[in-house]
A and B are shown apart, each in its own frame.
Chain A
Amino acid sequence: MRFGRQMKKFRHSGLECKWSPPFRSILGSVVVVVCVSRTAMCIRNKSCVVSDISHLCYFVQKILMFSYSPPVWIIHEQVFVAALDCSRLDLATLCLKQLRKQFTGSHRVRRLEGMRLEFMEKYEEANLLYDKIIQEDEANTAARKRKIAILKAQGRPIDAIRELNDYLKIFVADHEAWQELADLYIGELDYSKAAFCLEEVMMAYPYNHLYCQKYAEVKYTQGGLDNMELARKYFAQALRLNSTNMRALFGLYMVRLL
């Protein structure tokens, strides 16, 4: 479970030009960036992305050995996560080593170390690592969320729900967490609580048709006259926001049939 990685767009510029010694002259003039779109990084294409980005990473490392431009390290982090998803521990360890060298003692890098331990199913050690991070920085949300991810990976959804509820009492504005809690409740068939979580998400993102549609689906599943009425309203709202949302179209049709 990943709580939404921020994808930044980069422009590719000037790899093919101005390669002149000494290396210092490259620093100001050549910025190697990669354009990685969100769709390219979706789970479906993870393996392609890993193979392409791994080659690009090596290339980037060779060209910009003395450059410390921030985009390179974000790419390292994203390749690390993609490599874990594709079971490429060798590539993930390589990225982690570079990140550790560049950012010693960083909590963000230590979280990645925890993810590596999770991949190897060393959940106890990962938990200890995250506890240490939380001890040093109480406001670190990433480590807390990784602990909940461990519970989910261990197949303990009830414990994950409980921990996520405790987390949300402290960090009420974390809408990603509300979304995750809604999914967990749907998995446990607790539709009323899932609807509550989706209401929190809709308050934060009122113009997102997907949340309206999902809320409508939950209300439809709950059944009953009032819930069907609400479902109809929210399917209609989703269609108003995006008239090509097929689920909302079908949902509106199904509600009117009843």
Chain B
Amino acid sequence: MSIVKLTVQAYTKMVLHAAKYPHRAVCGLLLGDKRAPDLERVSLVDAVPLFHVALPLAPMLEVALTQLDIWCKEHDLVIAGYYQVNENQISIFRVIVLACCDHERVPWKCKLLSQNCHLCLVQTARGALIRSGAYLELSDFDNHLDDLRRDWANDHVNRMILDSC
């Protein structure tokens, strides 16, 4: 597997999550489409922001993975990757992505996303959303644990991203 493809939604949510907490390390999961398994390329359709506090601690990570697993089964998705943005980065666009299609047959591949994005559309959408403060609307799993009303699926942020494209 050599190609990792990201949708606008996945990429923008990763960047918004990093923009919301520039002083902290953030991490999250990437979801792929269950119906299109391909060993040569992985298509990541959505990103779910998870944590910005105490990333290496296990209990909440296990809870998040369990909840996400169930959610993915309902939406025909599969957990296909993991992203992390380290703290105090000069540029929030240094996102590390670990993606795998089928870990039994193909090992995990690590990619570093750079600012050079192939689609100008994504850059415009990303810039507009960051300027408008849309990252404040994003809720990660930590925010959900602090206030259960905040939805880590981020439907309204997904709509904002769609509108800005």
Q: Which residues of A contact B (CB under 8 A)?
A: 43-44, 47, 85, 152-153, 155, 183, 186-187, 189, 214, 216-218, 220-221, 223, 231, 246-247, 250-251, 254-255
A250 touches which of B21, B59, B136, B146 (Cβ 8 Å): B59
Question: From B24, which residue of chain A is reached at the shortest CB distance?
Answer: A43
Interface size on B, residues (CB 8 A): 18
A216 to B57, CA, bound (A): 10
Contact status of A214 and B59, CB under 8 A, knowing A43-B23, A44-B136, A246-B148: no
In Å, the complex CA distance between A247 and B141 comes to: 11
> In the complex, how many angstroms separate the beta carbon of B66 from the nearest chain A beta carbon?
9
**Roughly how many angstroms separate A183 CA and B133 CA in the complex, as a whole number?**
28
Query: Given the complex, which residues of B lie within 8 Å of A43, measured CB to CB?
Result: 21, 23
Q: Give the interface centre of A216, A250, A255 by most chain B CB atoms within 10 Å.
A: A250
Interface pair B62/A254, CB less than 8 Å apart: yes
Q: Is A189's CB under 8 angstroms from B56's CB?
A: yes
Which listed residue (A85, A155, A214, A220) contacts B58, Cβ 8 A? A220
Are the C-beta atoms of B20 and A186 separated by less than 8 Å?
A: no
Given A186-B54, A214-B54, CB of A221 within 8 Å of CB of B146? no
Which residue numbers of B lie inside 8 Å of A, CB to CB?
Answer: 20-21, 23, 25, 54, 56-60, 62-63, 88, 133, 136, 145-146, 148
Shortest distance from the beta carbon of B147 to any chain A beta carbon, whole Å: 9
Q: How many A-B residue pairs have CB under 8 A?
A: 49
CB distance from A107 to the nearest CB of B (A): 25
A231 CA to B54 CA, complexed, in Å:
16
Q: Determine the chain B residues whose CB is within 8 A of the CB of A246 once the complex forms.
A: 145-146, 148
User: Closest CB of chain A to B20's CB: distance in Å?
Assistant: 7
Across the interface, do A187 and B88 meet the contact criterion of CB distance under 8 Å? no
The residues of B that contact A44 with a CB separation of less than 8 Å are: 20, 136
| B57 contacts A221, C-beta separation under 8 Å | yes
A-B CB contact pairs (8 Å), 8 listed: A186-B54, A186-B57, A220-B58, A231-B59, A247-B60, A250-B59, A250-B63, A254-B62
Beyond contacts A220-B59, A221-B56: 18 other A-B pairs, Cβ-Cβ < 8 A, are: A43-B23, A44-B136, A155-B88, A186-B54, A186-B56, A187-B25, A187-B56, A217-B54, A217-B57, A218-B57, A221-B57, A221-B58, A246-B148, A250-B59, A250-B63, A251-B59, A251-B60, A254-B62
What residues of chain A lie closer than 8 Å to B88, measured between beta carbons?
Answer: 152-153, 155
Task: Tell me the complex Cα distance, A152–B23, Å.
Answer: 11
CA separation between A29 and B6, bound complex, in Å? 62
Q: Is the CB of A183 within 8 A of B148?
A: no
B25, B57, B88 — most chain A CB neighbours (10 Å): B57
Cβ of B60 and Cβ of A250 under 8 Å apart? yes
B58 & A217 in contact (Cβ 8 Å cutoff):
yes
**Bound CA span A228–B59, Å:** 11
- Complex Cα distance, B58 from A214, in Å, reads 11
* Residues of A contacting B57 in the complex (Cβ-Cβ under 8 angstroms): 186, 217-218, 220-221
Residue of B20, B58, B62, B136 with most partner-chain A CB within 10 A = B58
The docked-state distance in angstroms from the alpha carbon of A54 to that of B54 is: 33
Alpha-carbon distance between A231 and B145 when the two chains are bound, in angstroms = 19
Question: How near does chain A come to B145, taking the closest CB pair, in angstroms?
Answer: 5
Kindly list the 9 A-B residue pairs having the minimum CB-CB distance in the complex, ordered from nearest: A221-B58, A217-B57, A246-B145, A251-B59, A220-B59, A250-B63, A221-B57, A254-B59, A217-B59
What is the bound-complex CA distance between A186 and B56, given in angstroms?
7
- Chain B residue nearest to A155 (CB atoms) is B88
Residues of B within 8 A of A47 (CB): 133
